[in-house]
């Protein structure tokens, strides 16, 4: 199967070259779709200089958010399986095979890479961990699935689902939205343990406590009102 790796990017000049290199090194038939969300730190110029037969780069003319970037990227997908890959080096492309294996075996429609199932990970923020657990628990209560890491950015799903799911979130609401909509479609969801090399704010981490509060709203909205 061909995989489509969608990479939303915003102000990642220190990591964008390396993440593209790592994705290209994965020995799978693939296309790489990068959506730059109007970066202002030089990322845009770096991407302009990139070339490759399997590489497609799209530029937003104004900053819209991660969810909007993913929606743009999903419209360009031609592969059988979609993988969401952040540009910040926190998630390892060499784990793609493990991530998509349940789909290849015909067991799953979507697979979440869980940071809490025993894989090696960098020790970082306690309150982020607590927030992730609370959001995952709340999401599980609405969806009636038993995920351990709803907020993980490392996800794979059959591209055929794109025609059945309309992404409305523009920022970090994508994670609770896609989870709610996969559950409503009765999709078969698997989790696999992944490694996680988190970064701190001095290294460019963007998500804040405000996004955590917003995620509470998104969980409720997409499970009840959407």
pLDDT in tens, 65-84: 999 999 999 999 999 999 99
Q: Would the pLDDT of 205 be above 70?
A: no
CA distances from residue 77 to 71, 73, 188 in whole angstroms, order as listed: 10, 7, 21
Q: What is the pLDDT of residues 103-134, one digit of tens each?
A: 999 999 999 999 888 766 665 657 677 878 88
Half-sphere exposure of 181 (CA within 13 A, CB side): 20
Asked if pLDDT for residue 203 goes beyond 60, the answer is: no
Mean pLDDT value across the chain: 90
Helices (H) and strands (E) in the chain, counts: 7, 7
Can you give the pLDDT at residue 148?
95
Tell me what pLDDT residue 152 has.
Answer: 93
* Model pTM score: 0.89
Q: Are 68 and 168 in contact (CB under 8 A)?
A: no
CA–CA gap between residue 197 and residue 99 (Å, rounded): 17
What confidence score (pLDDT) does residue 55 get?
96
How much of the chain exceeds pLDDT 70, in percent?
90
Topology adopted by domain 3-225:
Spore Coat Polysaccharide Biosynthesis Protein SpsA; Chain A (3.90.550)
Place of tokens 């390396």: 18
Of 131, 132, 150, 129, the closest CA to residue 140 belongs to 150
């Amino acid at each position: 199967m061909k995989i489509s790796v969608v990479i939303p990017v915003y102000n990642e000049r220190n990591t964008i070259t390396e993440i593209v290199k790592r994705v290209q090194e994965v020995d799978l038939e693939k296309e790489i779709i990068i959506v730059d969300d109007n970066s202002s730190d030089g990322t845009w110029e770096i991407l302009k200089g990139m070339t490759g037969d399997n590489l497609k780069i799209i530029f937003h003319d104004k900053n819209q958010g991660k969810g909007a970037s993913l929606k743009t990227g999903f419209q360009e997908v031609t592969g059988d399986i979609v993988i969401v890959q952040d540009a910040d080096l926190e998630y390892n492309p060499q784990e793609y095979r493990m991530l998509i294996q349940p789909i290849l075996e015909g067991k799953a429609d979507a697979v979440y890479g869980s940071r809490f199932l025993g894989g090696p990970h960098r020790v970082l923020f306690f309150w982020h961990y607590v927030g992730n657990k609370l959001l995952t628990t709340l999401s599980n209560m609405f969806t009636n699935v038993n995920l351990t890491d709803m907020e993980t950015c490392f996800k794979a799903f059959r591209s055929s689902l794109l025609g059945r799911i309309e992404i409305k979130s523009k920022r970090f609401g994508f994670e609770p939205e896609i989870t709610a909509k996969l559950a409503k479609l009765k999709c078969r969801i698997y989790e696999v343990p992944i490694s996680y090399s988190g970064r701190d704010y001095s290294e460019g981490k963007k998500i804040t406590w405000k996004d955590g509060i917003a995620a509470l709203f998104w969980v409720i909205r997409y499970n009840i009102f959407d």
